Structure 1
Amino acid sequence: MIVSGANALVTGANRGLGAALVTELLARGAGTVYAATRDPRGLRHEDPRVVPLRLDVTDSVAIHEAAQRAGDVDLVINNAGVSGAGSLLHADPERARAEMETNFWGPVAVTRAFAPVLARRGGGALVTVLSALSWAALPFAGSYAATKAAAWSFTNGARAELRSQGTQVVGVHLGFMDTDMVADLDVAKIGAPEVARAILDGVVAGDEEVLVDDPSRALKAALAGSPAGLEITAG
């Protein structure tokens, strides 16, 4: 897919990787960039190509309205996500359900709403930001890992379903990224701008999967081995 001149939508665009993706899209000559977030009132950007858009990925009405408003998109990036529910064995199950609503059902709902838009535009591309934890066991983040594993499975299914309409479906995996979400973890982290560049490089190259860093590549390779090889520690 050619990013220059394309119209794009990024969920969770107010900070972290979302904000970095908006910046990288502009640098690559994108047309309109819909910066979607729950509350766009605080989102300000000097570039007139950026259009703040209200989109709560857990709100079906907001998603429908966003699809109506951004009916000219060629690229949709499912980036919005939350973490912090903790262990599925010991943490509050209601927090885990809320995490699943955002990290799994959110991309499902956005994909369902925007797939027809992309079809009308000739296919385009749809990206979902997953995680190396889609494949790994990290005890204190069991809930988050489960949401990303479910989203990975959905991404693979959506790729098969949307291939006939010419939509490139991309799953993105990475380890720890230097954002607010993991600010308290004392681990090696990759910068959000670097991740944004890798994602869009993959879109341009026609890739179906982007493994951003060494941790994601190592865990993908470990899937063929013992389950013990998927256990990781942090901190």
Structure 2
Amino acid sequence: MKLEGSVALVTGANRGIGLAFVRALRAHGAAKVYAGVRHPEFFEESGAEPLLLDVTEQDQIVAAAAARGDVTIVINNAGIQAGPGLLDGSFDGARREMEVNFYGTWALSRAFAPILAANGGGALVNMLSASSWRPNMRYPSYAASKAAEWSLTNALRLGLRDQGTLVVGVHAGPVDTDATLGLDVPKVKPSDVAEMTMRALERNEPEVLVDEVTRSVRAALSGPVDRLAPAR
């Protein structure tokens, strides 16, 4: 699809990968970028229009869809990592992860699917993870929420195909953001995630495998289950 002249909405746009998406869209010629954030008064990125949008608040989703009928690209980037360990801790964080990562993505996709259809199909991008496919003993509920979001992405790809919407799943291993500050592992830059996603959109590709970690995990899906080395 053509990025130049497009109108995009990015959720979780205040920092990290979301902010990188905003900047990449502008660099590729997007005519307008709506930055979905929980506190628009603190968003100061030039060239983007802040939009009050917490993906767990249905009234805010409805209001955003009603007021932004020109959107041609939706990037579901908002996500959290807040769950317990495998064998201890409260399930409250795990439930919150599902509310944001899975239900939030689903709710926003539902709301904007008719808008994308009315504007020629456009694209729906879901920010996923290598954890969509491999177990994570440190953050098991986060991995479960991303696995659910991957399944949803595949369903949306089939469900929106007839209206001409390109549905893209973006998978990455550790990305250098606030969420991975405590991890002493190689990390990719948010800008690299964003740029690879822009290229996929331009080429109408349905899946982005950002790094070697993700490509290896993806390839292992076709083999024995014990080839999926767990993240620790």
CA distance in 1, matches of 2:110, 2:225: 33
- Match among 56, 59, 74 for residue 58 of structure 1: 56
Alpha-carbon distance, 1:40 to partner: 1.0
2:184 aligned residue: 186
2:44 aligned residue: 44
1:82 matched to 2:80: yes
CA distance in 2, matches of 1:18, 1:74: 17
State the Cα RMSD in Å.
1.0
- Match among 155, 160, 164 for residue 157 of structure 1: 155
Q: Deviations over 1:203-229 (max 9, x none)?
A: 111011111111111001111122221
Alpha-carbon distance, 1:88 to partner: 4.5
SS of residue matched to 2:160: helix
Alpha-carbon distance, 1:26 to partner: 0.7
CA distance in 2, matches of 1:58, 1:51: 20
* Structure 1 spans left out of the alignment, 5+ residues: none
Runs of 4+ in 1 over 3 A off after TM superposition: none
CA distance in 2, matches of 1:45, 1:79: 17
Alpha-carbon distance, 1:105 to partner: 0.4
1:177 aligned residue: 175
After TM superposition, the score normalised by the length of structure 2 is 0.98
1:136 matched to 2:134: yes
Q: Which amino acid aligns with 2:22?
A: V
1:28 aligned residue: 28
* Structure 2 spans left out of the alignment, 5+ residues: none
Q: Which amino acid aligns with 2:68?
A: A
Number of aligned pairs? Answer: 232
1:8 aligned residue: 8
Contact 2:84 2:91 in 1 (8 A): no
SS of residue matched to 2:51: strand
SS of residue matched to 1:127: strand
Q: Which amino acid aligns with 1:103?
A: N
After TM superposition, the score normalised by the length of structure 1 is 0.96
CA distance in 1, matches of 2:87, 2:143: 13
1:103 matched to 2:101: yes
CA distance in 2, matches of 1:87, 1:211: 27
CA distance in 2, matches of 1:88, 1:109: 28
SS of residue matched to 2:139: helix
SS of residue matched to 2:104: helix
Q: Deviations over 1:85-144 (max 9, x none)?
A: 133442311111011100000100000000000000010000000000000111011000
SS of residue matched to 1:14: coil
Percent of counterpart pairs with the same letter?
A: 49
